[in-house]
Amino acid sequence: MSQDLFPHERRDQIVALLEENGRAGVSELSQRFDVSEVTIRSDLDILARQGLLVRTRGGAVAAHDTELDLDFYIRRRLHADEKERIGKAAAALVHDRESIVLDASTTALAMVDHIRNRRQLTVISNGLFAVTALLEAPGITVLMPGGFLSRDSASLVGGGDGAFIQQFTFQKGFFSARGFTLDEGLTDLNIAEVTLKQGLIAGAKEVIALVDSSKWGRVGFASFASINQIDCMITDNGAPRDMVAALEQAGVRVVLV
């Protein structure tokens, strides 16, 4: 490659390269296109803002369906603005003296900053980042189910027969998913996560789904909640209008942010 490429041509080729190989490093791209690493970083930042890739430490990865295979740190950066809006709207539904469930998703994690000041709030979560973020929230009691460490999802999963969870009843449960369709409902990839979420949903009086528009129309490995089990769906304005209308017709309250 030479420096004769226009910037937009170079960026198009970077996206094509990531689509083909999945990921690339700054140094590698700098050599390939014969430009400085500063220029490559600028290209990657621009493409990331356009949603065409996801920045990582030292490079980037493709932003298409490979999201399902990405680890927690990378997924946290995907659709970050939408997740922040969804998290803020979800947090507004949480009140003092309630008990709630937060799953281990990056979207539920976006709620945490907005509920720190609640009083006499009980939170159960298997998400390590959510639990850690609540350490300095004196008004919040935190419960964690046991289990094995899942590094990809930064969570504890597979914690036995669910007897611990069955001890409790929660006012509200907040759950994200790797996919959502009208037929399959909320779906996820990890069967241990699916099993845990099913148990938590069974103990929640109100089930609130937190699903950004990129997940609509996608199906994960297994379903953990049908649309009949969902009381409220919080999503962004990019959600398909026909699916939103059908969900509302099924009796689910939909909040667009």
Task: Tell me the three state secondary structure of residue 226.
Answer: coil
Mean pLDDT of 148-152: 78
In whole angstroms, give the CA distance from residue 143 to residue 191: 22
90, 179: one domain: yes
Range of the domain at 177: 80-256
Are 54 and 142 within one domain?
Answer: no
Band of residue 3 on the pLDDT scale cut at 50, 70, 90: low
Report how far residue 22's alpha carbon sits from residue 114's, in angstroms, rounded to the nearest whole number: 34
pTM: 0.73
Higher-pLDDT residue of 35, 169: 35
Q: Where are the alpha helices (DSSP H) in the chain?
A: 7-21, 26-33, 37-49, 72-75, 80-91, 106-112, 128-133, 191-202, 241-249
27-41, 114-128, 142-156, 242-256: the lowest-pLDDT one = 142-156
My answer on whether 36 and 140 are in the same domain is no
Per-residue pLDDT band at 185 (split at 50, 70, 90): very high
Report whether pLDDT(69) > 80: no
- Is the pLDDT assigned to residue 106 strictly greater than 80? yes
Question: Do 107 and 234 belong to one domain?
Answer: yes
pLDDT of 77: 67
Domains in the chain, number: 2
CB 188 within 8 A of CB 221: yes
In a domain, 159, yes or no: yes
Helix axes 26-33, 7-21, angle to 10 degrees: 130
CATH code of 246's domain: 3.40.50.1360
Q: Among all chains, which residue has been given the structure tokens 């159960």?
A: 124
Average pLDDT value for residue range 174-189: 93
> Tokens standing for 121?
């709030």
For residue 152, is it within any domain?
Answer: yes
Structure confidence at residue 68 as a pLDDT band (50, 70, 90): very low
**Residue given tokens 């460490």 in the structure block:** 149
Strand order in the sheet with 99-102: 140-143, 121-125, 99-102, 170-175, 204-210, 232-235, 253-256
Q: Rounded to the nearest 10 degrees, how much is the dihedral formed by the CA atoms of 92, 215, 155, 94? A: 10
> Are both 17 and 144 inside the same structural domain?
no
71 assigned to some structural domain: no
Work out the mean pLDDT of the chain and round it to a whole number.
Answer: 88
Percentage of the chain exceeding pLDDT 70: 91
Please tell me the predicted confidence (pLDDT) of residue 65. 43
pLDDT at 162: 60
